[in-house]
Amino acid sequence: MAKHPNNSIEVSEEGGVRYLHFSVDWIQGAMRIARPNALELAYTREMMAGLLLRQAPWPREALLIGLGAGSLAKYIYHKQPATKITVIEIDPQVEIIARLHFKLPDDPLRLRIIIGDGAHYMLEDGRKFDAILVDGFDKSGRAGVLDTLPFYQACRSRLTDNGLLAVNLLGHSRGFKASTERIASAFDGRSLVLPPCGSGNAIAFATGGDPVDVTLEQLISRAEQINKASGLNLTPTIERLQSSETLFQDRLLI
């Protein structure tokens, strides 16, 4: 049985934005009240950058480890209507608050919420996913077992051939370099860490299946299509990839 974290969960509002906190100064999620299904925080937009790396329609099946305010679940639910979503959340209070205060949809046919331990789920269930998004922290900003080599290896085993893993890392933390090395080790070096966004979050992507080989022209074209279809602007992500010299001869390769 999963041990529920002893989180003191709070909800606040400021400037038309509702925030979820696990501690006074630790923002776990946010929702702009006028646009409840948009991705308010920059790092959540970066978590969806896999849409630039795979050809649409993608993903068909998505697994989210960590619910928070439900931002990623809501975006995928409303903007990717062909995608089925499974969310693993260890704290039942988080699901309740997401439904009461952050407009989490109630549609178990497309959005399945499982209260349990994400690491245990990865080891116990054999179902495969096109996208696995990991965003799980405790009130002190620690990922615990969700940032270990066995966990990342389990994630790799649960991806389809065109699957991608996306992990939210704290770029300013002392363990950041070790985290990126564990991901690279689990995926035989086939990983990419985006340059940290303004909040300090850095999103890592990895695949063990079909190669990611996308030209800059394709990235720009896909970003335009995504923006037109869903309002998600991933152009800043592409610009930071260019400025960080992550592209090789105007290609992104993983």
What's the confidence (pLDDT) of residue 3? 47
If one counts the domains in the chain, the total is 1
What's the confidence (pLDDT) of residue 199? 77
Q: What does the pLDDT look like over 3-17, one tens digit per residue?
A: 455 567 899 999 999
Instruction: Mark the ranges of the chain whose per-residue pLDDT is less than 50.
Output: 1-3
Task: Name which of 248, 51, 70, 41 is nearest 166 in CA terms.
Answer: 51
Is the distance from CB of 79 to CB of 232 less than 8 angstroms?
yes
What's the confidence (pLDDT) of residue 33? 97
In a domain, 106, yes or no: yes
- Quote the domain boundaries for residue 146: 10-253
In a domain, 1, yes or no: no
Distance CA 181, CA 178 (A): 5
Task: Name which of 167, 227, 231, 236 is nearest 198 in CA terms.
Answer: 236
What's the confidence (pLDDT) of residue 57? 94
Q: For position 133, which CATH number holds?
A: 3.40.50.150
**What are the catalytic residues?**
135
Q: What does the pLDDT look like over 211-246, one tens digit per residue?
A: 999 999 999 999 999 999 999 999 999 998 998 888
In a domain, 226, yes or no: yes
What's the confidence (pLDDT) of residue 25? 66
In a domain, 5, yes or no: no
